[in-house]
Amino acid sequence: MNFRLKIWRQPNANTPGKLTDYEVRDISPNTSFLEMLDILNERLLERGEEPIAFDSDCREGICGTCALTVNGEAHGPDHPGAVCELYMRKFSDGATIIIEPFRVGAFPIVKDLVIDRSALDRIVQAGGFISARAGSAPEANSILIPKHNADLAMEAAACIGCGACAAACPNGSAMLFTAAKVSHLSFLPQGHPERESRVLKMVRVMDAEGFGNCTNTYECEAVCPAEISASFIAKLNREYARAALQRSAGE
């Protein structure tokens, strides 16, 4: 298969970038999208040209580092899944593919397709922890948790922190990410000691980082590799209202 690529090239955050044309030929349809970029980089190096910078780690849809927008879609057209799970057979032979970094104000470009997503880390650092003893694993039945709550906590905890929700949102909102991080602890008894302070701190940091507000377009849910439901945003809003009310009451 042959493809024409239009790839965002930008030397650094302070230098304007642009889409640059490349051609890749004889690509197997079973080649993954990131492997295709590897092949392109090998050919660029052979010609003495600078390779394209992009992030990847596990390449199994677990780590969330492959933050690419493909033809205007966060993680590309094969949902659910990260871009590392996207295969070239998803595209037509001879297709033009536009590859850009996630376009979110809170994710500054480092170089080419590499972005700084540390804003998400700072949201988690603000309150994504528990004070309960975290030593050896307790016996499974020693802390009784309703199955419904356990299932919801596991669903929220599946978030890989890729930032696709913010990239797909027209407002650049990180509400789905923050909602998942707040919710998976609020459903469990171990997370209750910091329940109120957690949501207040994490939302405050989210706003301070420059993420936009949620207006219920559901684009976040559509592109989430972990298929996290937008209903967790409603859970976040309830947790925030509860915590703010208790804080104002002086409890």
- Residue 227's CATH number: 1.10.1060.10
pLDDT at res. 140: 65
Alpha carbon separation from 13 to 16, 85, 206, 221 (Å, rounded)? 8, 28, 22, 29
Alpha-carbon distance 144 to 189, whole Å?
A: 9
- Judge if 70 and 152 occupy the same domain: no
Co-location of 243 and 145 in the same domain:
yes
Q: Are 122 and 244 part of one and the same domain?
A: yes
Task: Kindly state whether residues 9 and 100 are assigned to the same domain.
Answer: yes
57 and 140 within one domain: no
The answer to whether 64 touches 54, Cβ cutoff 8 Å, is no
pLDDT at position 74: 97
Does 125 lie in the same domain as 83?
A: no
* CB 214 within 8 Å of CB 175: yes
Same-domain status, 143 and 86: no
Q: Are residues 180 and 133 in the same domain?
A: yes
Looking at the structure of the chain, the number of domains it has is 2
* CATH number, position 87: 3.10.20.30
Residues of the domain holding 241: 117-248
CB 20 within 8 A of CB 44: no
Pair 152, 98 in one domain = no
Same domain, 240 and 123: yes
Contact (Cβ atoms closer than 8 angstroms) between residue 225 and residue 160: yes
Among 54, 87, 111, residue at a domain's last position: 111
Is 107:116 a contact under the CB 8 Å cutoff?
A: yes
Integer-rounded Cα radius of gyration of the chain: 20
Regarding whether 130 and 90 lie in a shared domain, the answer is: no
Which pLDDT tens digits describe the chain residue by residue (251 residues)?
999 999 999 999 999 999 999 999 999 999 999 999 999 999 999 999 999 999 999 999 999 999 999 999 999 999 999 999 999 999 999 999 999 999 999 999 999 999 999 999 999 999 988 887 767 766 767 778 899 999 999 999 999 999 999 999 999 999 999 999 999 999 998 898 899 999 999 999 999 999 999 999 999 999 999 999 999 999 999 999 999 998 887 75
- Looking at 53, 85, 111, which one is the last position of a domain? 111
> Given 86, 111, 136, which residue is the final one in a domain?
111
134 and 223 housed in the same domain: yes
